[in-house]
Homo-oligomer: A and B are copies of this chain.
């Protein structure tokens, strides 16, 4: 036992700093960040490294018949500083995740139920689309417009992961029609006509 004490002493001297270099679990009760204020290591349990929210189907009773359940740093603080996060897509029959981008991350999608038609458009304006079966994976490079459409007659589900704890999510229709951008301005920067814009503002909650 004496030996154990001696060796433990060595280890303690190595670890005398209060820094937990291996990870930096965010303390979401602290001031808004990044960079996150790290939680005290002594206060962490295994539950801090576990997220249970991807086990439940998202609510698809909405206009897109689909739901995105994020496990980003805001929901899963342990991802902070570790270069990765995750999420879940539920697409009811006819469901769609409309054109969107993740400004801060690349995405890998894996179909776990049903079938999904997915695609993205590149800076060169080239389109890559594919109907994915259960078990198929697809990668969406960072920042590019992409979409997912249910390609099955029943609910489809996918697990997605991202190359950052804070991928961001910019849904095109919301960015255009779901805020206070003026109709004339939208016309000018999209070439859509005012009637179309106003109709979609009505659906998506934009200020008229």
Contacts and interface: CB of A to CB of B under 8 A. Distances in A.
Contacts of A123: 15, 20-22, 103, 168-170
A182 B133 CA distance: 21
Interface in A142-201: 142-145, 147, 149, 159, 161-164, 166-176, 178-181, 185, 188-193, 196, 200
Nearest to A57: B135
A34 B132 CA distance: 29
Given A34-B24, A35-B35, A124 B15 contact: yes
Nearest to A106: B82
Interface residues of A, number: 138
Contacts of A51: 136-139
Given A68-B10, A188-B96, A22 B83 contact: no
A83 to B, nearest CB: 3
B137 A10 contact: no
Interface in A108-143: 108, 110, 112, 119-130, 132-143
Interface in A54-74: 54-56, 59, 61-64, 67-68, 70-74
Nearest to A170: B123
B83 A163 contact: yes
